[in-house]
Chain A
Amino acid sequence: MKKNEQRGDRIFGAVLLVPSILIVGGFIFLPVIQSLYYSFFDYKLTRKKVPLTWNSFGNYRSLWESGKLQHAFSVTFQFMVIVVVLVFLLGLVMALLLNRGGKGERAKRTLALLPWGTPTVIVALLWSWMFQPEYGVVNFFLLKLHLVAEPISFLVNPNTALGSVAVAAVWKQLPFLFIMLLAGLQGVPSEMYEAAHIDGAPPLRVFWHITLPFLRNVIRSSILVTIITNFKQFPLFWTMTGGGPMGRTETLAVLAYKNAFVNLNFGAGAAVAASWMAALIIFSLIYNRVFREAEY
């Protein structure tokens, strides 16, 4: 009787997992394996079925030799670092300044969440409009404040394009960091602050020794999410710059997509994807290791 019950539990528990396994397995894991597989072959999208031919790492070699893969890694990395640093610092400042509790809590959160809820393509359009060279409002402010002498073509100028896309990304992601850090701050027991106050500890010390350690979990998970989000960013680039000007915003996402769906070279696109996945996996292993060690 007891044994039967246990077997029933096991079967029931396994059956509940089946729908998720099928969907995620079929539409994520299968494509991962297939991408890896394609990356070793000559595979162009054609109407006729052409057998795949092994090209002895040709996809990887030509990506590497053309320098495009390294370039895309570097652009992606620069973009990610800019966005993560800005989003984290601004989010922390906002959370510290607005952590006062009481009335207005709901309104603060609701207003802050609006950019986060704006669909990414609309974020891209909105900032393209703000950054527009002739009529754009950003140029108006900069001219008015005498910060620039003539309007800047933000998305066309190779020096400003990546930064401009980063601004759009910061705008959309800042609310997430703010909400997370605010929740973290509200989890710091107020007795800790009172004790520090009685001891006469200066604010910066209190922040460093009480606030930050309490925020560690929130910081770890929200920064990891932000890093991954920006490493994968596609719609902003595709809509705002398309990888231009002169490849200045050609990230891994843009390079993979262009190879696969513009050049119709699936093998090369898959090779970009495979290198990219490998980098993400290695990165997250290191990331978690570093944070784990910091705890002891």
Chain B
Amino acid sequence: MKINHPVKNTASWLLILLIGGFLLFPLYWIFVTSFKDNMDIYRFPPRFIPLRATLGNYLLLFRDSSVILYLTNNLFVSAGTTLLTLAAASLAGYSLSRYPSRFGRAVATSLLSTQMFPIVGLILALYVIFRNLGLIDSRLSLVLSLSAVTIPFCTILIKGFFDDIPRSLEEAARIDGASRMKTLLSVIMPLSKPGLLAIGLYTFMQAWDDFLFAITFILNDGKRTLSAGIAMKFLGEVSYDWGMVTTVSVAGVLPMFLLIFLFQKYMVAGLTAGAVKG
């Protein structure tokens, strides 16, 4: 469908600008706010380009060691979750792709059904489980619960990637006398890098986003992750310190933006895989 009519053309550009503005202006706005001093932040009408940009909020943020701690904890938990999910989901996905069985199909169906379960609804039972395991206030509880959430989707996704790899490769490896495990690790895995990258990125972003598990299972401020830390530390009951809130938001957003800039292609492949094919 080509739009050639001049009026239609202007209208469509206007729409693009409106939607684009809606999507991008808020990001510009927290970014700009984080560079303003309090005088400028609480000015109405607001200034869209700060007259005197200041790094004051950033200096305050990084002088306070807790934000760096939150970021480190978040990185630690997200990386742990990603590794565990990659390992478990790629093994399971490979099994579903190459060794189909009735048991495997039952497992796949159960995995898919977990997407229905509201995690907020399960969290109190999970809390009791972790309390019995002695894992309350441990970052391991976050890694385990986040992995449980990401493994199902990642397993189904990576199975699709494995399905596209020709089986003749495995037959050849087997004739050469390679064991099943060796074939998987040294022939199939290296060929699945785009798929592994897609599920790894998905998992990392999901884990980075976690708020619910962190506010529930972690009580000690030193072990808090980013979202929970921000909510607990910077959101007062009465008024918020918007300079600090926007600054810490920028700090929390930048790692994700970096991943998007670097790996956009793989993320899109992961998001659209399956859905487009049907």
B29, B120, B208 interface centre (most CB from chain A within 10 Å): B120
Which residues of the other chain, A, contact B24 by a CB distance below 8 angstroms?
111, 114
Instruction: Select the stretch in A53-61, A62-70, A124-132 that faces chain B.
Output: A124-132
Which residues of the other chain, A, contact B260 by a CB distance below 8 angstroms?
110, 113-114, 117
In the complex, whether A272 has a CB less than 8 A from a CB of chain B is yes
Q: Who on chain A is nearest to B144 by CB?
A: A27
Does A272 lie within 8 Å of B245, measured CB to CB? no
Given A20-B91, A28-B117, A90-B19, A13:B98 Cβ within 8 A: yes
Among candidates B122, B226, B246, residue contacting A119 with C-beta atoms closer than 8 Å: B226
Distance A276 CA – B87 CA, assembled complex (angstroms): 32
Contact-residue size bin, chain B (C-beta under 8 Å from the other chain): 35 or more
Q: Who on chain A is nearest to B16 by CB?
A: A97
Which residues of the other chain, A, contact B194 by a CB distance below 8 angstroms?
none
Does B23 lie within 8 Å of A270, measured CB to CB? no
Which residues of the other chain, B, contact A71 by a CB distance below 8 angstroms?
none
Which residues of the other chain, A, contact B278 by a CB distance below 8 angstroms?
217
B43, B121, B124, B148 interface centre (most CB from chain A within 10 Å): B121
Does A9 lie within 8 Å of B99, measured CB to CB? yes
Does A179 lie within 8 Å of B271, measured CB to CB? yes
Q: Who on chain B is nearest to A117 by CB?
A: B256
Contact-residue size bin, chain A (C-beta under 8 Å from the other chain): 35 or more
User: Is chain B's interface secondary structure helix, strand, loop, or mixed overall?
Assistant: helix
Q: Who on chain A is nearest to B264 by CB?
A: A110
Does A280 lie within 8 Å of B123, measured CB to CB? no
In the complex, whether A78 has a CB less than 8 A from a CB of chain B is no
Q: How far is the CB of B233 from chain A (nearest CB, A)?
A: 12
Which residues of the other chain, A, contact B115 by a CB distance below 8 angstroms?
228
Among candidates A109, A128, A231, residue contacting B118 with C-beta atoms closer than 8 Å: A231
Which residues A233-281 have CB closer than 8 A to chain B?
234-235, 238-239, 252-253, 256-257, 260-261, 266, 269-270, 272-274, 276-277, 280-281
Query: Scoring B residues 146 to 173 as 1 if CB is less than 8 Å from chain A, else 0, what string do you get?
Result: 0111011001000000000000000000
Which residues of the other chain, A, contact B92 by a CB distance below 8 angstroms?
16-17, 19-21
Q: How far is the CB of A165 from chain B (nearest CB, A)?
A: 14
Distance A212 CA – B26 CA, assembled complex (angstroms): 32
In the complex, whether B54 has a CB less than 8 A from a CB of chain A is no
Does B151 lie within 8 Å of A20, measured CB to CB? yes
In the complex, whether A112 has a CB less than 8 A from a CB of chain B is yes
Given A115-B27, A235-B211, A96:B1 Cβ within 8 A: yes
In the complex, whether A79 has a CB less than 8 A from a CB of chain B is no
Given A23-B147, A218-B275, A252-B118, A122:B249 Cβ within 8 A: yes
29 A-B pairs in the complex with CB atoms less than 8 angstroms apart: A8-B180, A16-B95, A20-B152, A23-B151, A24-B111, A31-B129, A114-B23, A114-B257, A115-B26, A115-B27, A121-B227, A122-B230, A125-B30, A125-B249, A130-B26, A171-B23, A180-B275, A183-B276, A217-B276, A218-B275, A221-B274, A228-B116, A232-B118, A232-B119, A232-B120, A253-B120, A273-B121, A276-B118, A281-B113
Given contacts A17-B92, A24-B111, A127-B26, 11 further A-B contacts (CB under 8 A): A20-B111, A24-B110, A24-B151, A94-B16, A97-B16, A126-B26, A144-B45, A193-B1, A234-B211, A253-B120, A269-B124
Nearest first, the 7 A-B pairs at minimum CB distance are A13-B99, A273-B121, A217-B278, A27-B148, A31-B125, A16-B95, A121-B227
A residues in contact (CB < 8 Å) with B: 8-10, 12-14, 16-17, 19-21, 23-24, 26-32, 34-35, 38, 90, 93-94, 96-98, 106, 109-115, 117-122, 125-130, 132, 134-135, 137, 140, 144, 171, 174-176, 179-180, 183-184, 187, 193, 203, 206-207, 211, 217-218, 221-222, 228, 231-232, 234-235, 238-239, 252-253, 256-257, 260-261, 266, 269-270, 272-274, 276-277, 280-281, 284
B residues in contact (CB < 8 Å) with A: 1, 12, 15-16, 19-20, 22-24, 26-27, 29-30, 33, 41-46, 84, 87-89, 91-92, 94-96, 98-101, 103-104, 107, 110-111, 113-129, 144-145, 147-149, 151-152, 155, 180-181, 205, 208-209, 211-212, 216, 226-227, 230-231, 235, 240, 242, 245-246, 249, 252-253, 256-257, 259-261, 264-265, 267-268, 271-272, 274-278
